[in-house]
Amino acid sequence: MAKRGRSEPASPKHTQRAKAGAALVLLLVAGVLVVAYRPIRESRYRSRLPTVPAFSHEPAALRDYVENADRVARASPTSANSVAALGVAYHANLFYDQADRAYALATELGGDWRWAYFRALVHEVRGDAAAVATALQDVVARAPEFSPAWWRLGEAEFKLGRRDAAIAAFERARSLPEPPAEPWPGAPARKAAAPVAAYAALGLARAALAAGNAEQARQVLERVMATSPAFGPGMRLLATAYTSLGRAGDAERAVRRADRLPGYDPYVDPSFVMLARESRNPTFLLQQAAAADAGTNGAWREFMIRRALELAPENADALQELATLLRVLRRFDEALVLFRRLEQRVPDDPRIPADIGRCLSGLRRYDEAEQVLRRALANLDDANTRYDLGLVLDRTGRPAEAISEYKLALARNPTHRDALNNLGVTFARAGRLAEAAAQFERLVAADPANPDAHTNLGAILLSTGHPDRAAQEFGAALEIDPGNTVARDALAKTNFPKKPADSAGQPPSLR
């Protein structure tokens, strides 16, 4: 059989077979590459995952949670969601460097815009406004309807001195709706102190004030206070705008109104609810509790503290926070149990016996309260404890001793509001009206936004034959609190004042 020469064309069948072979080889090579590449890629991403930190005194639940999230991410290091979940685990437990790395990786893996937003939150905590702004510019490009990102971008731009960019971002935030709530079955709802639009308006007003445009700030803030009347920081900044405009009277009234509103609470968007849900860190949970005003978000606050206590049952800070919250909410019996537990934990803290005394007083267990408060005073001779002892003595029918304690409280803090008020009331009950009036004068000077102070001073003035001045005080009370029925009724009486002699020996009605 003659050999086929080189130039001899291959038969179609042979060519087909060769092509198929080559394709098979290529397929095999590709398959090998694919099979080999995946672990190489995974290995590359795995090596970029943050290293689990060396834990020291963290709760076991926190360690387990973070270590588990780390295991999941290491098993699927190219999964944006797994890596982002690791970021959340670190973020919610105050490991910011690790969270930053994980979020960066998740974003690179093509994850949700939220991870870029969460990364911006990490930059924000660390005070890096430039990084915040850069990250959020990307976020708002991908999620232009997410109002919190615009508001935060405005804040960052303002801090960087880029006023126009700040204004543009605040304006956009103001025009967008609130984001939907983050679901957390079983948890009380976390209410925002004000909508994000109100915070954006606050930012706009700050930018206007910084540029010397107080009138524009006034307009923005008056509008926001019309729609969010309980937004304390807005009212306070409005007072500043009025001051800058030379409207001293309006400024004073705004300050008085602000004094009766909650102070500044940071805007809490749904991301923080998610972080709180994922947190096993008592410090983070207590931080979230503290950022919630007890009046607006008491149930949420209690829920956060109790979660912290579940994680660290002997955490003295959490015990103190919960006990104090319950005392403020007048749940004295529950608070008492916790303060006693706390006293075992921190026997050298002089404030705890005073708190126990306050709870006993609130429970009307005055004999015990007096004993405890006297013991507390041996180590904490401060205005509050003196006042509390005075209150107990007052309630147990010892006005002279109560007066003495109130005076001691005022020697330690001359503007102690409750001591001033109660001293005035005690003097009035004893018919010492001139001394009572003096105390209420001091109280009004120290606490001009207190309608009861004006009402009580008015009542004394009316009883001592000064109806015009009394009417002024009742009017001041009504200006602060238009629904104050005591002041309104008393104001009506100023039209028919008694003569001073008529009221001798008849103490006025006081709040």
Partner 1 sequence: MPPGSPSDFWKPTPIGDPPAAREQPQIANVTVADLDQDGLLDVLVCDAGRRRLSWIRQSPKGVYTEQVLADIRGPAHVEAIDHDGDGDLDLLVADLGELFPSNQRIGSVIILENAGGGRFIRHVAAEGLPRVADVRGGDLDGDGDQDLAVAAFGYDQGQTLWLENRGNWTYVVHVLQELSGAVNVIVADFDRNGTLDIAALISQEWEEIWIFENAGGGRFTPRLAWGSSNADFGSSWLAPVDLDRDGDIDLLYSNGDAFDYAPANSRPWHGVQWLENLGANTFALHRIGDLSGASSPVAFDADQDGDLDVAVVSAYNAWTDPAALSLIWLENNGRQQFTMHAIAHAPTHLITLAAADLDGDGAPDLVTGGMHISAPYDRISRVTLWMNRGQAR
| Contact residues for partner 1, defined by CB under 8 A | 56-57, 94-96, 124-127, 129, 132, 152, 155-156, 158-161, 210, 232-233, 236, 239-240, 243, 255, 258-259, 263-264, 266, 282-283, 286-287, 289-291, 315-318, 320-321, 346, 348-350, 379, 413-415, 446-447
Closest approach, Cβ 213 to partner 1, in A, equals 13
Torsion over CA: 194, 196, 197, 200 (sign): positive
Closest approach, Cβ 236 to partner 1, in A, equals 6
If the CB atoms of residues 273 and 289 are measured against partner 1, the closer one turns out to be: 289
Tokens, residue 259: 């004094």
Beta strands in 208-292 (DSSP E): none
If the CB atoms of residues 286 and 476 are measured against partner 1, the closer one turns out to be: 286
Question: Is-contact 389 474, C-beta < 8 A?
Answer: no
If the CB atoms of residues 174 and 206 are measured against partner 1, the closer one turns out to be: 206
Closest approach, Cβ 418 to partner 1, in A, equals 13
How many other CB atoms sit within 10 Å of the CB of residue 308? Answer: 28
Closest approach, Cβ 102 to partner 1, in A, equals 16
Beta strands in 259-366 (DSSP E): none
Question: Is-contact 421 413, C-beta < 8 A?
Answer: no
In the chain, the amino acid numbered 184 is: W
d(C-alpha 134, C-alpha 148), whole Å: 15
Closest approach, Cβ 497 to partner 1, in A, equals 32
Closest approach, Cβ 471 to partner 1, in A, equals 26
If the CB atoms of residues 97 and 502 are measured against partner 1, the closer one turns out to be: 97
Closest approach, Cβ 132 to partner 1, in A, equals 6
How many other CB atoms sit within 10 Å of the CB of residue 370? Answer: 21
If the CB atoms of residues 354 and 433 are measured against partner 1, the closer one turns out to be: 354
- For 409, residues 6+ apart whose C-beta sits below 8 A from its C-beta are 383, 384, 386, 387, 390, 416, 419
Question: Is-contact 443 422, C-beta < 8 A?
Answer: no
Closest approach, Cβ 50 to partner 1, in A, equals 14
SS3 content of the chain, % helix, strand, coil (to 5): 70, 0, 30
If the CB atoms of residues 291 and 490 are measured against partner 1, the closer one turns out to be: 291
If the CB atoms of residues 224 and 462 are measured against partner 1, the closer one turns out to be: 224
If the CB atoms of residues 83 and 132 are measured against partner 1, the closer one turns out to be: 132
Q: For the chain, state the CA radius of gyration.
A: 33
Max CA distance (Å), the chain: 148
- For 120, residues 6+ apart whose C-beta sits below 8 A from its C-beta are 131, 132, 135, 136, 139, 149, 152
How many residues appear in the chain? 511
